[in-house]
């Protein structure tokens, strides 16, 4: 049986939010079976809990933000990606502010925290969303994601394909395909950092965005080169980070996927539209478990970390 997972111990972290620039404390805690991922703003009185589900997404401008009433928590996609990559179903995420800390701009620090806390199997089957029919969304004319598209299609495992195209001589066009049966999430995806174009920086600051951005947490690109010391971690780090984001965004369906994702220039807005489109078409998916030891389960993770019972 493929079982649900949570953390073995509590773990803490601290960092700066990408867009708010605020220093935020983070605490990750074990959670019971069928809890899912629940974020909590403990700086508020009383604390506000927000489940990490598509229905709570309130904004997709350069990050995925969830909200309940006036309470917001933004930039959750990197932690969500790490949770997906390590197969963690149930966790409480406590925050002292309105935005997840960016750490070094990827999911690697969150992977380290989760592995340091320890991963524990629980006595309940993990539930998956198996895609039965293709579902596609395309950005409508006039929307800021009008030239983007995203698709979920049937596949016996979990595979992601992504293409990005930038009017920038450093980034240009990049494509990557990642199959969890052959690719290590930790080594090949989790360390890919978020990136930004220097010519857009002043405009973002005027909109109170990217206030916490620096060369410590963002890959900065001008018209000639990558400005960070040490350059890139992967030759195609830009598109790998887009895949990292897509994994985190897809996890707001509440369960991991048995299927294939394909994105063309897609970002958080397209991913949100894809989730909503899938949930509306109940004939396009089904909930499944793999409970029998004799039942062959598809490759759903590149690696399963050792668990402690």
Q: Which residues are catalytic?
A: 268
Which residues fall within 8 angstroms of residue 179, CB to CB, at 6 or more apart? Answer: 157, 158, 159, 299
Angle at the Cα of 183 (from 188 to 227), degrees rounded to 5?
Answer: 15
For every residue of the chain, which 3-state class applies, written as one string?
CCEEEEECCCEEEEEEECCCCCEEEEEEEECCCCCCEEEEECCCCCCEEEECCHHHEEECCCCCEEEECCEEEECCHHHHHHHHHCCCCCEEEEECCCECECCCCCCHHHHHHHHHHCEEEEEEECCEEEECCCEEEECCCCCCCCCCEEEEECCCEEEEEEEEECCCCCCCEEEEEEECCCCCHHHHHCCCCCEEEHHHHHHHHHCCCCCCCCCCCCEEECCCCECCCCCCCCCCHHHHHHHHHHHHHHHHHCCCEEEEEEEECCCHHHHHHHHHHHHHCHHHEEEECCCCCCCCCCECCCCCCCCCC
């Amino acid at each position: 049986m493929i079982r649900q997972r949570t953390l073995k111990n509590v773990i803490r972290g601290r960092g700066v939010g990408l867009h708010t620039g605020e220093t935020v404390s983070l605490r990750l805690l074990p959670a019971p079976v069928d809890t899912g991922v629940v974020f909590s703003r403990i700086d508020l009185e009383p604390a506000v809990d927000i489940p990490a589900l598509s229905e709570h997404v309130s904004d997709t401008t350069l990050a995925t933000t969830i909200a309940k009433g006036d309470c917001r928590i933004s930039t959750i996609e990197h932690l969500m990606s790490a949770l997906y990559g390590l197969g963690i179903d149930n966790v409480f995420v406590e925050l002292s502010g309105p935005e997840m800390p960016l750490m070094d701009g990827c999911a690697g620090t969150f992977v380290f925290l989760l592995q340091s806390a320890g991963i524990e199997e629980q006595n309940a089957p993990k539930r998956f969303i198996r895609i039965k029919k293709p579902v596609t969304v395309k950005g409508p004319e006039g929307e800021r994601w009008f030239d983007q598209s995203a698709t979920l299609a049937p596949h016996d495992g979990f595979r992601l394909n992504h293409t990005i195209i930038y009017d920038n001589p450093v980034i240009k066009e990049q494509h990557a395909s990642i199959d969890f049966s052959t690719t290590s999430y930790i080594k090949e995806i989790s360390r890919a950092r978020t990136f930004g174009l220097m010519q857009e920086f002043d405009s973002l600051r005027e909109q109170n965005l990217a206030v916490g951005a620096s060369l410590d947490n963002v890959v900065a690109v001008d018209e000639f080169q990558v400005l960070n010391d040490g350059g890139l971690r992967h030759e195609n780090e830009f598109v790998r980070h887009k895949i990292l984001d897509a994994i985190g965004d897809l996890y707001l369906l509440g369960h991991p996927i048995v299927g294939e994702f394909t994105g063309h220039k897609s970002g958080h807005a397209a991913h949100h539209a894809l989730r909503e489109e899938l949930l509306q078409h109940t004939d396009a998916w089904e909930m499944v478990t793999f409970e029998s030891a004799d039942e062959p389960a598809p490759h759903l993770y590149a690696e399963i970390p050792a668990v402690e019972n």
